[in-house]
Amino acid sequence: MIVDANAYLGPFAFRRLRPNTAPTLLQLMDVKRIDRAIVSSASAIAYRNVQAANEELAAEVTPHRDRLVPFAVLNPFYSGWEDDLKICHEDFGMRGLRLYPKWHNYQLADPCCLELVHAATERGWIVSIPARVEDHRQRSWLVDVPDVPLDELATLIKACPRARFLLLNGLNYASMQLGRKDNGLPANYLIELSRLTALLNNELGQLMANLGPERLVFGSGMPFSYPDPALLKLEVLAAPEEAKAKIRGQNIARWLVA
């Protein structure tokens, strides 16, 4: 079973994404033998009122809920997020949150953000945070959005021990608190592998040694990215099949059930 913890639907402001509809994404998943995917709206990254994008996402995935797990993008500084959270959970059946603190221009440590994380946690949601959307070197002339620093993620994780965090599109965890053994942080976060190395410096192997395979999940970033580089990492990773199975899908599936 392969579960992609890092997928998207819809258009992105600065580059054409293909495939970005539910039927076409599912076709790609079939070809790559990916069973399920957590999806959020790529439009929401640049929308001011992100709820419009959540509505689009909900309509897109409704016929495919057995395979596509929708996460809502919310902005804790935009009016009405409490209502949007309720609608996304109770009406749309969404299962988690995706935050873009740099794109939406707020601090993870801000009380408003903590309030949103707590509210999502009360509803049993997973809180996912992409460290980046695109490579910074290819950014548009219109925007200059930095990556989310790993120490800001660590601070949030420490402040919200009851929450469950899914860290996406990051790297260099192994040299930071988040990736160290006995790091003093609650074990309430999973690290997605799409930007981690499995060869040469092999950060995946380092994180397996430091945190255990239970703390890693497969994710591709599709359709921003080809899914194959992430799949290939798992194929070449020097690890027992049992550990790979956890990373491939068991770890995130356990969280989705919970």
Partner 1 sequence: MASNLEWRPDSALAPTLTPPRLDPGNTERTAGELSRRTFLRYSAATALALGTAAVHSGRRVTAAETIGLPAATSSHPIRVIDCHAHLNHRSRSTWEADDRKLIDAADRLRIEQLCCSILTPRRPATVEGFRECNQWVSDGIRRFPGRVRGYCYVNPGHSQEALDEIRRCVEQRGFIGIKLYNEHTCTEPIVFPIVELAIQLNVPILQHAGHAHYPLEGQPHISDGSHLAELSRRYPEAKLICAHICGGGDWEWTIKALRRAPGVFLDTSGSVTDAGVLEFAAQVLGVHRLLFGCDNSMTAGMGRIRGANLSAADKAKILGGNMARLLPSLAALPS
Q: Return the structure tokens found at 245.
A: 């199975």
Residue list 19-58, contact with partner 1 (CB under 8 A): 32
Q: Which of the 8 DSSP states describes residue 178? A: G
Among 100, 189, 224, 255, binds partner 1 (CB under 8 A): 224
Interaxial angle between packed helices 150-159 and 111-122, expressed in degrees from 0 to 180 and rounded to the nearest 10: 60
Are 197 and 185 in contact by the 8 Å Cβ rule? The answer is no
Near partner 1 by CB under 8 A, which window of 55-63, 86-94, 96-104, 201-209? 201-209
For partner 1, the binding residue among 15, 65, 162, 181 (CB under 8 A) is: 15
Instruction: Say whether residue 198 binds partner 1 (CB under 8 A).
Output: yes
Q: Are strands 126-130 and 216-217 parallel, antiparallel or unpaired?
A: unpaired
201 binds partner 1 (CB under 8 A): yes
How distant is the alpha carbon of residue 25 from its chain centre? 17
Cβ neighbors of 97 (< 8 A, separation 6 or more) are 71, 72, 73, 74, 116, 117, 120, 125, 126, 127, 128
The verdict on 225 binding partner 1 (CB under 8 A) reads: yes
Kindly state the helix (H) or strand (E) to which residue 189 belongs, with its residue range: strand 189-192
Site string for partner 1, 77-106 (x = CB under 8 A): ------------------------------
Q: Residue 87: enclosing H or E segment and its boundaries? A: none
Q: Which span (15-23, 38-46, 70-78, 111-119) binds partner 1, by CB under 8 A?
A: 15-23
Taking the complex as a whole, how short is the minimal distance between the CB of residue 84 and partner 1, in angstroms? Answer: 29
115 CB contacts (<8 Å, ≥6 apart)?
76
* Binding residue count for partner 1, defined by CB under 8 A: 45
DSSP 8-state secondary structure symbol assigned to residue 91: I
Write down the least CB distance from residue 133 to partner 1, Å.
11
Tell me which stretch binds partner 1 (CB under 8 A): 34-42, 90-98, 116-124, 131-139. 131-139
Q: Is 144 in the site for partner 1 (CB under 8 A)?
A: yes
Note the residues at the interface with partner 1 (CB under 8 A): 15-18, 32, 134-141, 144, 146, 171-172, 174-175, 194-195, 197-203, 205-206, 221-233, 236, 238
